[in-house]
Amino acid sequence: MKKIDIVKKAVSFVVGTGVAHIVHSIISNNVDIEKTHHKVTVPVASVAIGMMAADATCEYTDAKIDEIAAAIDAVFSKPTEK
């Protein structure tokens, strides 16, 4: 596994975990669980929404990491001679 892949996995884990926690906190603080079936449906929906948001943010961070890696390569790579 390349170093860039390890960085992407680590960043994705941290970002995904943070996003899922934020989504769960927002939902739990703003949704009243009034009925019995809400005790099941709201947490399940919270997890699904958190996973969707985490996937989107992970795609974004992966793209940004690729941009940064390309910029670093451009700065530090030696020009090729023809």
pLDDT in tens, 9-62: 999 899 988 988 898 889 888 988 888 988 899 888 888 898 899 889 989 999
Give me the pLDDT at residue 51, please.
86
> With a threshold of 0.95, does the pTM exceed it?
no
Residue 82 forms part of a structural domain = no
CA–CA distance, 2 with 33 (Å, rounded to integer) = 46
**For the chain, how long is the longest CA-to-CA vector?**
73
Residue 58 forms part of a structural domain = yes
CA–CA distance, 33 with 54 (Å, rounded to integer) = 24
Give me the pLDDT at residue 14, please.
93
pLDDT at 82 over 70: no
Residue 23 forms part of a structural domain = yes
Alpha-helical segments (H) within the chain: 3-30, 38-76
Domain total of the chain: 1
Report helix, strand or coil for 60: helix
Give me the pLDDT at residue 32, please.
86
The residue range of the domain holding 16 is 3-76
Tokens encoding 80: 């090729």
